[in-house]
Amino acid sequence: MLKKALCIAVMSLTSAGAATAAWASAMPAPRTFCGTGAAYDLQGQATQTFTFVTVNTPVAATAMASHTTLTYSDGTTKVTDQTITDTAQGFKVDAAGWSGDALCFGNGLCQGYLKESASQGLALTYVRDSEDTYRILLTRLENGQAQGFIKEVASPCEKR
């Protein structure tokens, strides 16, 4: 579950970059992002670290395809794809096996939920710190109970 949650988390939030108006106001403009992250247990102990690269490609006026490669601290990698579509006040995420929605509130702040199954999902908070950097905090949930946390930070690859 942890590696799948990490993959879902990274893709959902790095992918939305600048496709459409509502999400574009919260995401930096470059379309390739590099980042780092870590997963934590309920006591705040790091249990996994990872790096990622996400490439976003517009596929319509209000949607983009996203291709993400994650590399975990144990050296394993996972590649995943998804589609991000703008909505009136945020964005929708669709990928094989899960989907979700988020609302954006201006000033680079978005909140949402990504559903993996009837009992599992991720609550997410996205904060854009500057034109080039953003942070994400996710809470892994099972049957509505927190199971752990994931934090990420990313910026355009050419600025790292």
Mean pLDDT by 10 residues, the chain (160 residues): 54 44 46 92 96 87 87 94 88 87 89 92 89 88 96 86
Take residue 76 and report the two structure tokens written for it: 């394993």
- The pLDDT score that the predictor gives to residue 3 is 55
pLDDT tens sequence across 92-134: 888 888 899 999 998 889 999 999 999 999 998 989 888 778 8
Write the DSSP string, 26-91. TS-S-SEEEEEEEEE-TTS-EEEEEEEEEEEEEEETTEEEEEEEEEETTS-EEEEEEEEEEETTEE
Tallying the residues shown for the chain, one arrives at: 160
Is domain 2-159 given the CATH code 3.20.20.30 in the classification? no
| Mean pLDDT of the chain, nearest integer | 82
- pTM recorded for the entire structure: 0.79
* CA–CA gap between residue 43 and residue 111 (Å, rounded): 23
* CA–CA gap between residue 99 and residue 154 (Å, rounded): 22
Domain boundaries, the chain: 2-159
Element (H, E) at 116: none
